[in-house]
């Protein structure tokens, strides 16, 4: 790497009236952190400085930054915090990062959703929660960076070309239905009917698309689901996977479209329908392609698919195959760990959502069969905050846990999943802190990270 600093106290240009004004860039991006030991730190860039341009190109967003910084020869234009302009020449390896971090990870802010979906869970949140939880994003960059799902309704052809140019692959798309009229209705957006054309433009140009279907009973299921799977599977292998999840219904649905939750029988019918498609697609295309979230199987009281049937778990973050992975990881951990009697007896409790209580109990029994001196209570928490139809652990609140576990025998520790907490914080959805919950319940709380090995270690006190 070679860095050559060309420093200027002031850069000016002459405007149309002949007056001189300070140099201005189209975008002036504040740097919030410079990674220690990075190229940028070696060049003298500091937190509080501003990135003005790379190779004379103004930076619109994070993808401009990533694309232009990948060059081996760079000319950085930096405005120091005191106003001085630096031009820094850098020779580096192609894959070397500059080491800059910005106040806004996307640089120009996330695009908000313009839809009025009949099934939107954010519209079903109660009033009075932290303002950030009400933000609806619909940004293709977040899809690429974090796996968020986008509807493509607020994206124009030029932006699709930009995705293709920057090779932003894969992209996760919330499709729901390929029937144009039905999609316009479900998304509450008159521009929502062209999703197939937009997906085809992406897949024809080498961008992999993973599709999500939020299934609403008596709306986009049955024959409409057949149509959607047929239309999307016709674009495989450009379509990498299709996940189907049941609509989430909270008790806060005043003045919203009337939705019917999936019950045991209706869940079973969806399973039968999707399994027929999986058999057909496996024969025709060599992949099952379409997968159901675990919730359908648990609600229908049907055994979940085998680990290998998920073909690499392309949409596990969407609740597709999470139970299969957890079970395998627990069993693999137990096979490779020495069992016996614990040095100290342990009496612990687990707080979990109602959906997975039976599965957690099964795993606990497997662990107890290898480790003696372990007593475990598993408490399924009814979600009074969001309502009885919300049964996943990740949407449990501190107030429900406190109300339902106060006075119970909790032993030495109460285990809760990190999925219940806000990212990077020890705070639940209703602003209850873990410390507050510990105080009310009078027990130490242990936060368990995802993964079967972490679950086993938490139970045996490792």
Between CA 394 and CA 358 the distance in angstroms is: 16
Does 109 fall in a domain? Answer: no
Residues 365 and 282 in one domain: no
| pLDDT attached to residue 92 | 84
Mean per-residue pLDDT, 411-426: 92
Last residue of a domain, one of 274, 299, 319: 319
CB atoms within 10 A of CB 66: 15
Same domain, 274 and 339: no
Residue 255 lies in a domain: yes
First to last CA, the chain: 45
The CATH number assigned to the domain holding 14 equals 2.30.42.10
* pLDDT tens sequence across 142-159: 444 455 788 998 888 888
Helices and strands in the chain: count of H runs, count of E runs: 14, 16
Domain identity same for 79 and 186? no
Final residue of a structural domain among 294, 319, 344:
319
pLDDT of residue 304: 96
Same domain, 244 and 127: yes
Cβ neighbours, 10 Å, residue 330: 22
Query: Do residues 302 and 208 both lie within one domain?
Result: yes
Q: How many domains does the chain have?
A: 3
3-state class (DSSP) for residue 386: coil
In a domain, 113, yes or no: no
Task: Identify whether residues 170 and 262 lie together within a single domain.
Answer: yes
- pTM of the full structure: 0.80
Same domain, 199 and 258: yes
Same domain, 196 and 222: yes
pLDDT, residue 131, reads 58
Using one digit for the tens of pLDDT, what is the confidence trace for 366-392? Answer: 999 999 999 999 999 999 999 999 999
- Does residue 54 register a pLDDT over 90? no
* Residue 114 is assigned to a structural domain of this protein: no
From 67, 102, 137, give the residue that closes a domain. 102
Nearest to 51 by CA among 84, 74, 28, 85: 28
Residue 63 lies in a domain: yes
Domain CATH for 126: 3.80.30.10
Q: Is residue 427 included in any domain, yes or no?
A: yes
161 and 25 co-located in one domain: no
Shared-domain flag, residues 87 and 138: no
Residue 32 confidence class, pLDDT cut points 50, 70, 90:
confident
310: domain range? 122-319
115 assigned to some structural domain? no
Tell me if 111 is assigned to some domain. Answer: no
22 pLDDT above the threshold of 50: no
* Mean pLDDT over each residue of the chain, to the nearest integer: 87
- Co-location of 53 and 191 in the same domain: no
**Are 315 and 331 members of one domain?**
no
């Amino acid at each position: 790497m070679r860095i050559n600093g060309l420093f200027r106290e002031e850069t000016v240009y002459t405007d149309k009236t002949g007056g001189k004004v300070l140099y201005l860039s189209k975008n002036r991006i504040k740097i919030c952190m410079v990674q220690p030991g990075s190229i940028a730190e070696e060049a003298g860039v500091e937190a509080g400085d501003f990135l003005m341009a790379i190779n004379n190109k103004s930076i619109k967003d994070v993808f401009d930054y990533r694309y232009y910084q990948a060059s081996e020869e760079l000319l950085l234009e930096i405005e120091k915090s005191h106003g001085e302009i630096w031009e820094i020449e850098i020779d580096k390896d192609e894959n070397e990062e500059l080491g800059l971090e910005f106040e806004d990870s996307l640089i120009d802010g996330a695009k908000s959703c313009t839809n009025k979906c009949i099934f939107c869970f954010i519209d079903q949140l109660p009033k009075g929660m932290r303002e950030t939880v009400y933000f609806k994003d619909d940004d293709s960059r977040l899809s690429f960076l974090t796996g968020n799902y986008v509807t493509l309704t607020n994206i124009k052809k030029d932006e699709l070309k930009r995705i293709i140019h920057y090779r932003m692959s894969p992209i996760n798309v919330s499709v729901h239905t390929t029937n144009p009229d039905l999609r316009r209705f479900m998304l509450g957006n008159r521009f929502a009917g062209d999703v197939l054309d937009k997906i085809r433009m992406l897949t024809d140009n080498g961008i992999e698309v993973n599709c999500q279907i939020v299934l609403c009973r008596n709306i986009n299921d049955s024959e409409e689901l057949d149509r959607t799977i047929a239309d999307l599977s016709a674009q495989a292998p450009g379509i990498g996977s299709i996940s189907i999840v049941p609509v989430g219904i909270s008790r806060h649905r005043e003045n919203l479209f009337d939705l019917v939750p999936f019950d045991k029988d209706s869940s079973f019918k969806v399973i039968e329908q999707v399994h027929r498609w999986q058999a057909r697609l496996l024969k025709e295309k060599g992949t099952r392609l379409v997968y159901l979230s675990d919730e359908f199987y648990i609600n229908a009281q049907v055994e979940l698919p085998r680990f290998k049937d998920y073909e690499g778990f392309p949409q596990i973050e969407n609740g597709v195959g999470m139970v299969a992975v957890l079970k395998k990881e627990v069993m693999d951990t137990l096979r490779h760990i020495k069992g016996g009697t614990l040095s100290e007896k342990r009496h612990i409790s687990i707080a979990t959502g109602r959906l997975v209580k039976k599965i957690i109990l099964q795993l606990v029994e497997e662990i107890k069969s290898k480790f003696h001196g372990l007593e475990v209570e598993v408490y399924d928490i009814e979600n009074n905050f969001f309502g009885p139809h919300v049964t996943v652990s990740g949407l449990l609140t501190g107030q429900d846990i406190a109300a339902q576990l106060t006075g119970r025998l909790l032993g030495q520790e109460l285990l809760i999943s990190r999925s219940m907490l806000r990212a990077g914080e020890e705070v639940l959805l209703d602003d209850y802190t873990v410390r507050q919950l510990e105080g009310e319940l009078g027990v130490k709380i242990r936060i368990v990270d995802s993964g079967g090995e972490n679950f086993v270690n938490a139970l045996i006190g490792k």
